[in-house]
Amino acid sequence: MLLKLRHKLVIAVILVLMAAVVTAVQVHSSNTVKASATTTDNLIISQTPSTTDISVVRNPAHPQVQGQPSVTDKTPEPLSPPPYRSLRVVLDWYLTPYHAPLIVARERNLYDQENLDVTLITPADPSVAAKLVAAQRAELALTSQLQLHLLVKQNLPLIRVGALVPLPLATLLTRRNAGIERLSQLKGKTVGYVHEGPARIWLDAMLKDQSISLSDITLQHVDFGLISALTNKEVDAVIGTMRHVDRRQLAQQGIVVNEFMVDESDLPAYDELIVVANRNVLSRHRRDIGRFFNAVEKATLWLINHPEQGWELVRKAEPGIDTPANAQAWPDVLRYLALRPITLQRQRYQRLETYLLRRGLIETATSARRLAVDIDGELFQDIPSPQG
């Protein structure tokens, strides 16, 4: 009997303990739910009809718990455009139709689209353009491939980065009434030139198969005045005149000329109008030069696609170009423009260098990689030294 009583007492105690545990669990769960509800009540998501910004803010009725993150999704401030980069481009000559891509890129704001502030500079002396670049007084200059080969021999840190006219343009003009129908008849005559180095190269090639040589001709420097020197009979002939343009200009003045083409000689094909930079600081300006040629290429393509509009734009932008002779030459000029100004035919530079060395016009050969660079694809630190 006593044993049964003990068993009942133990069972009663167990039931009491179990009830206490259940009660404790229920109280804890109730407190958790209340705390969760309170936290939820403290967060209010507000959105005003006048904006798409959504902000997560605290309910003013409940203090914000320190350390609780606050999130605001707002429209960011507009980014400022990158600053314009300045490029000074020295021309080889006064502005002519062959400079049309440079003019169109300016007038159609193509330089602006590349974040460039480009200044076209006409030099007082056509022989100083490339030298200004060598002295770091300009970033780019226009010259000829022939001139580049000779300037590098003077240890000027110049390198070709692009071309506007990738074909020879130079001609030799004589007045028809001067009695010079053949090149051999230049013996004892005076020939005017702008750049002496290229003039000697041209004449050496043109007279190679003639009965006379350079020593039979008198050379005279005439600066920018090739046409006026021939018109005023200061010289018997001029060399380095622009194909398509100068002959027509003289004809409009009533002067009939004989024209001899430089590229009909043994002289290798070359780039007539190139753009050079200073090789010592080339890496500093690489991106700007690439953007410059992006603009020039777009301008050239636009000219090819819109020749009549192109002429109207060019002549209005630069009234000095608006002459009957230039208007007549315009279709021929467009055919000579480089569609891809940065395209490099390195073998052309090597071929001309070899020719000049063989003809005794230079004393040492310079690597073609020193003369010209592919602005799009080469590492400038890999450009060899002048005699590399």
Q: What is the pLDDT of residue 39?
A: 42
205 near 262, Cβ under 8 Å?
Answer: yes
One-letter amino acid for residue 358 of the chain: R
- DSSP-derived secondary structure for 20-60: HHHHHHHHHHHHHHHHHHHHHHHEEEE--TT---EEEEE-T
Percent of the chain whose predicted confidence (pLDDT) is above 70: 76
pLDDT at 21 over 90: no
Task: Note whether 226 and 126 are within 8 A (CB).
Answer: no
Residues 86, 119 contacting (CB under 8 angstroms): yes
Supply the pLDDT for residue 14: 56
| Residue 47 pLDDT exceeds 60 | no
pLDDT band at 82 (very low <50, low <70, confident <90, very high): confident
Q: What is the pLDDT of residue 62?
A: 42
How far is the C-alpha of 153 from the C-alpha of 364, rounded, in Å?
A: 8
- Stretch 29-39: mean pLDDT, rounded? 44
Is residue 107 over pLDDT 80?
A: yes
pLDDT in tens, 165-206: 999 999 999 999 988 999 999 999 999 999 999 999 999 999
Backbone φ, ψ for residue 109 (5° rounding): 60, 30
The average pLDDT across 107-126 equals: 95
pLDDT per position as a tens digit, 305-356 = 999 999 999 999 999 999 999 999 999 999 999 999 999 999 999 999 999 9
Helix (H) or strand (E) holding 336: helix 324-336
pLDDT at 58 over 50: no
Q: How far is CA 118 from the centre of its chain?
A: 10
pTM reported for the whole predicted model: 0.76
Average pLDDT, the chain: 84
Task: Specify whether the CB–CB gap between 169 and 242 falls below 8 A.
Answer: yes
Q: Are 271 and 166 in contact (CB under 8 A)?
A: yes
